[in-house]
Amino acid sequence: METEFLLQILYFTFVTLPLATTSNHRIKPMNQWKRSSIYALSISDLQNLENLELTLVQVLTQGFLTSNKFPIGSKIREHVHRYLEDYYESNGYIDTKDGIGKMDFRIALNPICAYRLIWRIKFLLQDVIFHNQFFRHFGSVSRRISYFFKQYCWPSMDDLESLAEKILRIQYVYDLPVEQLAKGWISTLHTNCTLKSVHCYEIFKVAAKTEQFTSAIEWAELAKEIAVTDKMSSPVFLAFSLWNAIEKHNQEFEDDMKLELEPLFFDRNISHVPYDSKNATKIRNIQDDEFKE
Q: Is residue 10 part of a domain?
A: yes
Half-sphere exposure of 264 (CA within 13 A, CB side): 17
Q: Is residue 183 part of a domain?
A: no
Q: Is residue 164 part of a domain?
A: no
Q: What is the pTM assigned to this prediction?
A: 0.82
Could you tell me if 19 and 80 lie in one domain?
Answer: yes
Contact 93, 26 (CB under 8 A): no
Could you tell me if 125 and 214 lie in one domain?
Answer: no
Could you tell me if 152 and 83 lie in one domain?
Answer: yes
Could you tell me if 86 and 214 lie in one domain?
Answer: no
Q: pLDDT tens digit string along 165-224?
A: 999 999 999 999 999 999 988 766 667 889 999 999 999 999 999 999 999 999 999 999
- Of 170, 179, 185, 175, the residue nearest 282 (C-alpha): 175
Could you tell me if 76 and 11 lie in one domain?
Answer: yes
Q: Is residue 253 part of a domain?
A: yes
Could you tell me if 203 and 141 lie in one domain?
Answer: no
Between CA 290 and CA 293 the distance in angstroms is 5
Whether 29 has a pLDDT exceeding 70, the answer reads no
Q: Is residue 42 part of a domain?
A: yes
Annotate 209-237 with DSSP letters as a single string: HTT-HHHHHHHHHHHHHHHHHH-SS-HHH
Q: Which domain holds residue 143?
A: 2-158
State whether the Cα torsion 272-276-278-279 is positive or negative.
Answer: negative
Domain count, the chain: 2
> Which residues, listed in sequence order, are joined to residue 185 by a DSSP beta bridge?
190
Task: Select, from the ranges 66-80, 131-145, 267-281, the one with the highest average predicted confidence (pLDDT).
Answer: 267-281
Could you tell me if 217 and 139 lie in one domain?
Answer: no
Between CA 30 and CA 147 the distance in angstroms is 10
Q: Is residue 71 part of a domain?
A: yes
